[in-house]
Structure 1
Amino acid sequence: MNTLFEAGPESVYMSDGKYGPYQVLVRSASSTLIVDEPFGAGGLGSGPTPFDLLSAALGSCSLMTMRSYADDRDWPLEGLAVRVSHDRPTLASSDRFLKEIQIVGPLSLVQIHALVDVSMRCPTHVTVARGSEIETRLVRPGDMTDMAVGRSAHMRVMKESLRTGPP
């Protein structure tokens, strides 16, 4: 099997940041970033919030999937932009996401509608839309490595979703 598309779980490692009470250092297999809360909410505003990242995951996955689909077909797509808004009116309410898509280029209406449809087949959209099972485990200090594992699962699942159609 091509190691770029190796199957298996991926992981991201998080630890306390050095400065603020809500600052979190996040390490993936390929990069490091800081997550934080805004200054007015007790954080330092030194990075996106967890909900910002969730919205960014949904929007960026949609954009990548549309780009891949158009490129595979040699469509004259000149540009894409996605804005994702997230809201949960009450703690007991379901989360609501609004995904706004801007498509630039001399595409037919059929191509534009195909891209919008494909955006709803991206792996993150499917994951958020159907919900996920989350298992939580307590690990003793020293028993967890600070290693993050990446196996390009997103790209593998994205390409698979383009081949197989809607879930």
Structure 2
Amino acid sequence: MADTQITAITELDRSHYKTKVYAGGHFIYSDEPESIGGTDEGMTPGALLLASLGSCTAITVRMYADRKQYNLDGIKVELAICDEKDMNKETTITRKIELIGTLTDEERQRLMQIADKCPIHKILSNPIKIETH
């Protein structure tokens, strides 16, 4: 195992299904819609997954653009996935990336390539092993 790990702790009491999520000194809620018994006070687990990919994509593109001094004013990443009950090994995530700024065609093309190099994209594009103890 690596010396440095990313860790998260989730806690769920008798609430249906508002879950406390702690990571790196930060706190958020995950929940389910009221239509299935949740309180809709947080993102669903599937939305959290998309948020992770979207934020990682944007951060990776921003880091590269800053290093190369590209005139990138903003990045918008729109993501979609099927309903959680329909997810399986064939699930597809769609991602639309909008690059805002005065960029050459070559710079835009390069930033789109860099988007696929974000760590979360790499994880989700390969088999994942989950060890439960």
TM-score w.r.t. length of structure 2: 0.91
Structure 1 or 2: more strand by fraction: 2
CA distance in 2, matches of 1:54, 1:91: 12
Segments ≥4 residues shifted beyond 3 Å: 88-93
**What's the Cα RMSD here?**
1.8
> For residue 73 of structure 2, what is the aligned residue in structure 1?
78
> For residue 28 of structure 1, what is the aligned residue in structure 2?
23
- Paired residues for 1:35-114 under 5 Å: 35-87=30-82, 90=86, 92-114=88-110
CA distance in 2, matches of 1:11, 1:93: 24
The offset of 1:30, in angstroms, is 2.5
The offset of 1:70, in angstroms, is 0.1
Identity of aligned residues (%): 27
- Local SS of the residue matching 2:125: helix
- Local SS of the residue matching 2:10: strand
The offset of 1:8, in angstroms, is 2.3
The offset of 1:91, in angstroms, is 5.2
- Local SS of the residue matching 1:78: strand
Aligned length: 131
Higher RCO (CA 8 Å, separation ≥ 6 residues): 1
- Paired residues for 1:122-137 under 5 Å: 122-137=118-133
Unaligned segments of structure 2, at least 5 residues = none
Of the three residues 8, 11, 24, the one matched with 1:12 is 8
